[in-house]
Structure 1
Amino acid sequence: MSDSRKGKRPLVADKRYAVSPKTARKPKAKPKPKPKTRPRKVARRKTPVRKRGGLIGLVQRLIGWVLRLIWRITWRVGAVACLILGLMVGYYYTTLPDVTELLDGRARGSVTLLDNDGRVFAWRGDQFGGAITTDTVSPHLRNAIVATEDKRFYRHFGLSPRGIASAVRINLSEGRGPLSGHGGSTITQQTAKLLCLGVPFDPTVQSEAEYEAECRRGTIKRKASEAIYALAMEAKYSKDEILTVYMNRAFLGAGARGFEAASQRYFGKSAANVTAAEAAMLAGLLVAPTRFAPTNDLTRSQNRAATIVRLMNEQGYLSGSEARTAQNNPAQLSQAAEARAGGYFADWVMSSGPEFFTRKTTEDVIIKTTLDPRIQRAADDAMDWVFENKIRPGSKAQAAIVVMSADGAVRAMVGGRETKVAGAFNRAVQAKRQTGSAFKPFVYAAALDLGYSPNDTVTDEPLTINIPGSGPWSPRNYTNQFYGKVSLTRALADSLNIPAVKVSEFVGRDLVRQVASDFGLESDLAAGPALALGASESTLIEMTSAYAGILNGGSSVQPYGLVELRLLGDDDPLMGTGGGIGERVVQESAARQLIYMMEKVVSEGTGGRAQFGGWQLAGKTGTTQAARDAWFVGFSADYVAGVWMGYDDNTPLTGVTGAGLPAEIWRETMARVHEGMAQKPLPMMQPSGRGLVRAPDSTPSAERGGAGRFLEGLLRDILGGGGTSTQERTPPVRGSDR
């Protein structure tokens, strides 16, 4: 048997069974690759929510419907409100000018007054020291403003919801309305208020006070407008630009607009150079400029500044050591600020200058004046000393002082007991009072100008003059005594009334009135014989300038305080001195002889209390009827000073005459004025000749345009006839005009 399997079918199991050809296994075809697809997510079948039925379900459905309705209304209203707000902000945005046009928004100009050395001593009007920016001011000042007014200034968008909510809460807790008191305003909102929402001041429509009141209204509508304007500003300007406008527009008391003006006014320096303590004091003015002004209450202002220093330290603007230094060295006022804006003298210069450059100026004006600060301090100190040491406490008596040079340049002025004031009633220039015996030098000036001598005599005896329409008038001396024949010098020194009347009647009242008027007494002068006794009214400055005319040799004087006026930034003055020496009134020889007579008033007569330090002095006392006014006016070779004392309501003085307290005030003033000065003799002339008051020479009378000549018989009847020399006179009587 062969073992070969060639040609034989294999033995397999499927041979055992019958296999249908249709079901015979076919080779499997290679499957086609299926495209890759994400597996389908099988949607989860939502479980149907069963709606609650009944009353509860109804309420729920109703609440849901209401909420959906509210939402639909709210977002639509909100969208419309945002659209309207955007339009309003856009409108204000288009009206905002360049930031440089917003820095100086004053309705009035300013006046800066300089003393005779060129130093600032007073301001008037709305002072603007010049534009400043956040880059040019002291960093301490910028930080103090932000720390005080709006510590989130650089982080908010113009409004501070947190600040507003806090302000409302504080107001309600203090029992006020939600918008009364604390405002919660940002610096941007405050700037919007300072700009009055872009509405300029128009003097033809409303007054400045009405305009300011309108800008400061605190109604809800106004607050909303300020908020919109603030948003527009935030969109238009940078934070530093907004702060720059705020620093230049803020009112900071004492007429200062902007921090540069305030720094100059209170500290005499630029805002770029203020210390932390000074910056804190300036920032403290923002909340209440008048109340916290250091010129009103320095201690209160320093306390407010201490609070701001603490805030600066808490907010990281000052280190602990810097804060302690500022606390221990509080800011102090400059000398000009201490003077309370120049007082009476500055008021007088402002009233005497041209209105369009002083009271109603729209420009920034610089005025150089005749004020001497040393002499002004002397007058202030003298007034204070006498009232503290010589006047009973509680007295309402007033006094005034004027000091000037012989050419009429006013060096000092005190218009009342309150020496450091501004805008007060100025008794030196505004009060017209009877002059009393202080008028008598003009009577004797008229006689001397006609050729009479101080040694000529007149009889002091009972005198009665019949005044048409009034009847007989009989003048009396202060002592109610008569002293017979006396020289003109003695009659003036002892202030005898009857000799003054006789001389006035002889030379002619018209001539006396003319001399007094030409010397500067501008008030209506009395027409009757009482003219010689000072029945006319005058002001202290008129009387002082008239005496200055005597000192300068007999020429009239126009008192003045303005030396030069120019606009800020200009070098050339617009106007110069507004006064000075005028026309001659009496001959120089007459004036010098009158000085001799007036020197005897101080050295031997009623003005003895005015003497000090061995100086040659001349002057005249004056007391009016019932002692309602008391005067002393006099001079040294260098200065003329006048003092008036009395009550504003014309109440008679008790125990006061011109020889008393007014002479003492004059002495205290002039003694201080002359400290350290070399003594000079008065420009007086010793009299020559003696005899009876004689008939006037026709030539001088014609030159003066005075009264006509009197007959010798009338001379004897009126003046008493006869005559003796001055050596034959009776001993001088003291106190005839105290």
Structure 2
Amino acid sequence: MSDSGRRKPPLVADKRYGRVGARPARKPVSKKPKPRKTKMQRPRKKAAAKRNPIVAFFLSILSWVLRLIWSIVWRTSVVVGLLVGLAVSYVYLTLPDVDELLDGRARGSVTLLDRDDQVFAWRGDQFGGVVTAETVSKHLKNAVIATEDKRFYRHFGVSPRGVASAIRINLSEGRGPLSGHGGSTLTQQTAKLLCLGVGYVPEDWESESAYVQDCRRGSLGRKVKEAVYAMAMEVKYSKDEILSVYLNRAYMGGGAYGAEAAAQRYFSKPSANLSPAEGAMIAGLLTAPSSMAPTANLQRSQDRAATVLRLMNEQGYLSDKDTLFYQNNPATLSEAAEAKSGGYFADWVMSSGPEFFTRNTTEDVILKTTLDPRIQSAAEEGLRWVFENKVREGSKAQAAIVVMSADGAVRAMVGGRQTKVSGAFNRATQAKRQTGSAFKPFVYATALERGGHYDDMVLDEHYCLNVPGSGKWCPKNYTGKHYGNVSLTFALQNSLNVPAVKVSEKAGRENVRTVAGMFGIESDLAAGPALALGASESSLLEMTGAYAGILNGGSSVTPYGLIELRLLGDDAPLMGTGGGIGERVISDAAARELIWMMEKVVSEGTGARAQLPGWQVAGKTGTTQAARDAWFIGFTSDYVAGVWMGYDDNTPLTGVTGGGLPAEIWRETMVRVHEGLDPKPLPAFVPPPKSKPSPRPQRQRGKGIDDVVNGILNDIFGRN
């Protein structure tokens, strides 16, 4: 039966002293409360044993300093972050559309084409047109990223890791932290190319170079601005848009700005078609474009490209097999690139064209020219061969060559012994030198035009003239001898001075001056009788053009190198040829007679060393007083070529006359020019055969007087 209904006794403790016989009461267990673990309750002796008062003092100071620094740092960071954010926001608002940044040149480019429409030179700020990161060769794009900024697609415009690494390298190499390696990202480099948005204003700078120098400053303040600008660009533009700006603006050596210009400059192909080796070579130029340019040092450029290919391999852009292949087969220059920048010919065309379309153009201009690369190579090789084989080693003598067609179209030009140059002194166009006997054809041209003939006679004897203001003047022949009555042809082929002066005086000095000027010799011509002996100064280009006038039948010629000028992208030219054949100076008959006389100079006279196997050659030698200048100018039926030789400081040549080394340079050049051409005769007249005396009647032999008498009688009387 359940007792659940009973009332339970109260729970009370047994009395300490209860009834007899009762169980002794349990001693209650005393429960002491656990002491709270507080710092105040820790034993003082143990604390004293662990921490020295001095140490504790300094630790407390250090703790306070750290808390202070942290307090300053996080507050400063917040302030700096806000300021940077504001600065980035401000720059972001000032950034233009990306299309406006792709071409930021101060002037335009000039591309020069030869007669076959092949590029051979560039001038101005060369620019091949806008490209994008999507349109260039992937190999070029990968090479640029691998070389310049392998984290380009992962950072926000600034790479702290890159900056730290650059500072470490600079310090380890004994430089200042900001000297040398900059740790700049590709975005920062693009910002620098944009000069942080500051455009060039001529009025604000001493020169454009001063502006560029300021843009490249590497001070701490400049670096901060650069970083802000780079971050603003990252916000405003996509990565590929930033890379596109860089690929269009970066200078890549050889006068080329941008990837397209570099591809055309070095390889004569679009940037979209570059191979890994070519892309690596262009990317390798970015660190030092002038010294690394393949036109400056091809081997150094190829070595640098091999390093770029290795970097591309390490970053997964090229396989091991392809890397090895392109390292063993490096990129090489196109023929146009090997010719450097067109040399003297390109300089002359640029200086002779309209300034606003050549030297100061703001447009991209295409110039088609008369240059023939084959003939240009022939002239350079001919000059080099003679100086290597005929001129003493160490000689400082110079030479110049001009080759043109009969209409004045210049096919080749060499302005000095150093042929691969740009902007150098051009002795073919800029040097004005005395012409010596090379001027004499114009004396005889005047005489022939005024009714003379090749076989007219002139007395070669001691001869003097009284020159007003100078007194008595007596010309002498080079040989010091006189030859009596000689024909005009003999006098010219042997370059006799006395007959030339006599012919000039008879034809009239002013007439000689007029004929020479009309043939294109624009320099001031001497007024006295020494005019006939080439006392006047002229350029090689003028003299060669004047001889072209003789070859074409007696009409004046204006030498020219420009065929047409047009703007990039336009088909219609803005201007055409600036030279060619002009008005007639002497009759065709006089010109043909003069050509025949000048042919005798080469075949029988002083120009014998200029003879070409199988070809008729006409020309004239020239040597000035004390042999300071030596000339040979001559022509075949196809081409006219002029050669000058001398010293820049007018030092006399030793043992050199126009019929010597200049004639040999002419021959070596023209032998190469005429390779593969069929010989054709000169357009000279053919002298009529000399009349022979009638043959005297001869007596028949074997008949006596009786036979003669019988014959007469038979004729009279008709007897048989």
For the criterion TM > 0.5, the same-fold answer is: yes
Deviations 1:393-449 (Å, cap 9, x if unpaired)?
111111100011111111111111111211111110000000000000010011111
Counterpart in the other structure of 2:130: 131
Alignment: residue pair count: 658
Counterpart in the other structure of 2:69: 70
Counterpart in the other structure of 1:87: 86
Counterpart in the other structure of 2:350: 350
Deviations 1:624-659 (Å, cap 9, x if unpaired)?
001000000011111110000011111111111000
Alignment partner of 1:653 is 2:653:
yes
Moved beyond 6 Å, runs of 4+: 49-53
Counterpart in the other structure of 2:492: 492
| Contact 1:453/1:688 (8 A) holds in 2 | no
| Contact 1:454/1:687 (8 A) holds in 2 | no
Letter in 2 for 1:130: G
- The CA distance in 2 between the partners of 1:326 and 1:504, in whole Å, is 69
Instruction: Tell me: CA distance 1:65–1:460, structure 2 relative to 1, closer, same or farther (3 Å).
Output: same
Deviations 1:142-186 (Å, cap 9, x if unpaired)?
111111111121222212222222222222222222222222111
- The CA distance in 1 between the partners of 2:270 and 2:193, in whole Å, is 23
Instruction: Tell me: CA distance 1:43–1:689, structure 2 relative to 1, closer, same or farther (3 Å).
Output: farther
Counterpart in the other structure of 2:320: 320
Deviations 1:60-112 (Å, cap 9, x if unpaired)?
44333333322222222221111111111111111112222211111110001
- The CA distance in 2 between the partners of 1:311 and 1:438, in whole Å, is 62
- The CA distance in 1 between the partners of 2:460 and 2:177, in whole Å, is 83
TM-score normalised by the chain length of structure 1: 0.86
Counterpart in the other structure of 1:436: 436
- The CA distance in 2 between the partners of 1:444 and 1:588, in whole Å, is 14
Letter in 2 for 1:595: I
Counterpart in the other structure of 2:21: none
- The CA distance in 2 between the partners of 1:405 and 1:471, in whole Å, is 44
Alignment partner of 1:471 is 2:471:
yes
Letter in 2 for 1:389: N
- The CA distance in 1 between the partners of 2:55 and 2:632, in whole Å, is 103
**Within 5 Å, which residues of 2 pair with 1:234-633?**
234-633=234-633
Deviations 1:128-149 (Å, cap 9, x if unpaired)?
1122222211111111111111
- The CA distance in 2 between the partners of 1:178 and 1:538, in whole Å, is 60
| Contact 1:637/1:680 (8 A) holds in 2 | yes
Alignment partner of 1:181 is 2:185:
no
Letter in 1 for 2:356: F
| Contact 1:453/1:687 (8 A) holds in 2 | no
- The CA distance in 2 between the partners of 1:549 and 1:567, in whole Å, is 33
- The CA distance in 2 between the partners of 1:536 and 1:414, in whole Å, is 23
Instruction: Tell me: CA distance 1:531–1:91, structure 2 relative to 1, closer, same or farther (3 Å).
Output: same
- The CA distance in 2 between the partners of 1:257 and 1:293, in whole Å, is 13
Deviations 1:537-570 (Å, cap 9, x if unpaired)?
0000000000001111111111100000000011
- The CA distance in 1 between the partners of 2:599 and 2:111, in whole Å, is 40
Counterpart in the other structure of 1:709: none
Quote how far apart the aligned CAs of 1:55 are.
5.0
- The CA distance in 2 between the partners of 1:141 and 1:53, in whole Å, is 67
- The CA distance in 1 between the partners of 2:52 and 2:314, in whole Å, is 62
Counterpart in the other structure of 1:159: 158
Instruction: Tell me: CA distance 1:148–1:604, structure 2 relative to 1, closer, same or farther (3 Å).
Output: same
- The CA distance in 1 between the partners of 2:221 and 2:369, in whole Å, is 49
Residue segments in structure 1 that go unaligned for 5+ positions in a row: 1-9, 14-22, 29-41, 691-738
Letter in 2 for 1:97: P
Secondary structure in 2 matching 1:175:
coil
Quote how far apart the aligned CAs of 1:686 are.
3.4
Counterpart in the other structure of 2:230: 230
- The CA distance in 1 between the partners of 2:109 and 2:122, in whole Å, is 7
Deviations 1:563-583 (Å, cap 9, x if unpaired)?
000000111110000001111
Letter in 2 for 1:191: T
- The CA distance in 2 between the partners of 1:43 and 1:267, in whole Å, is 90
User: 170-179 or 229-238: which moved more?
Assistant: 170-179
Secondary structure in 2 matching 1:679:
coil
Letter in 1 for 2:202: P
- The CA distance in 1 between the partners of 2:598 and 2:196, in whole Å, is 67
User: 204-213 or 320-329: which moved more?
Assistant: 204-213
| Contact 1:134/1:244 (8 A) holds in 2 | yes
Q: Give the one of 47, 50, 53 matched to 2:39.
A: 47
Secondary structure in 1 matching 2:292:
coil
Secondary structure in 1 matching 2:291:
coil
Quote how far apart the aligned CAs of 1:688 are.
6.4
Letter in 2 for 1:563: I
Secondary structure in 2 matching 1:412:
strand
Counterpart in the other structure of 2:107: 108
Secondary structure in 1 matching 2:368:
strand
- The CA distance in 1 between the partners of 2:626 and 2:172, in whole Å, is 62
| Contact 1:632/1:642 (8 A) holds in 2 | yes
Quote how far apart the aligned CAs of 1:53 are.
9.2
TM-score normalised by the chain length of structure 2: 0.89
| Contact 1:455/1:688 (8 A) holds in 2 | no
Letter in 1 for 2:350: M
C-alpha RMSD of the superposition: 2.2
Letter in 2 for 1:666: W
Deviations 1:220-247 (Å, cap 9, x if unpaired)?
1111111111111112222222111111
| Contact 1:455/1:689 (8 A) holds in 2 | no
Letter in 2 for 1:209: S
Secondary structure in 1 matching 2:86:
helix
Letter in 2 for 1:168: I
Counterpart in the other structure of 1:714: none
- The CA distance in 2 between the partners of 1:60 and 1:320, in whole Å, is 58
Secondary structure in 2 matching 1:305:
helix
Deviations 1:236-287 (Å, cap 9, x if unpaired)?
2222221111111100011111111101110011111111111111011001
State the identity %. 72
- The CA distance in 2 between the partners of 1:305 and 1:567, in whole Å, is 34
| Contact 1:619/1:632 (8 A) holds in 2 | yes
- The CA distance in 1 between the partners of 2:53 and 2:173, in whole Å, is 51
| Contact 1:110/1:363 (8 A) holds in 2 | yes
Alignment partner of 1:97 is 2:89:
no
Letter in 1 for 2:331: A
Deviations 1:708-731 (Å, cap 9, x if unpaired)?
xxxxxxxxxxxxxxxxxxxxxxxx
Counterpart in the other structure of 1:679: 679
- The CA distance in 2 between the partners of 1:685 and 1:53, in whole Å, is 124
Instruction: Tell me: CA distance 1:204–1:472, structure 2 relative to 1, closer, same or farther (3 Å).
Output: same
Secondary structure in 1 matching 2:596:
helix
- The CA distance in 2 between the partners of 1:363 and 1:205, in whole Å, is 23
Letter in 1 for 2:541: I
Secondary structure in 1 matching 2:571:
coil
- The CA distance in 1 between the partners of 2:88 and 2:441, in whole Å, is 76
Letter in 2 for 1:293: A
Residue segments in structure 2 that go unaligned for 5+ positions in a row: 11-33, 691-720
- The CA distance in 1 between the partners of 2:507 and 2:304, in whole Å, is 69
- The CA distance in 1 between the partners of 2:285 and 2:201, in whole Å, is 28
Secondary structure in 1 matching 2:213:
helix
| Contact 1:455/1:687 (8 A) holds in 2 | no
**Within 5 Å, which residues of 2 pair with 1:715-730?**
none
- The CA distance in 2 between the partners of 1:448 and 1:277, in whole Å, is 65
- The CA distance in 1 between the partners of 2:66 and 2:191, in whole Å, is 39
| Contact 1:630/1:657 (8 A) holds in 2 | yes
Letter in 1 for 2:669: T
Letter in 1 for 2:442: F
Deviations 1:440-488 (Å, cap 9, x if unpaired)?
0010011111000010010111111111211211111111111111000
Letter in 1 for 2:437: S
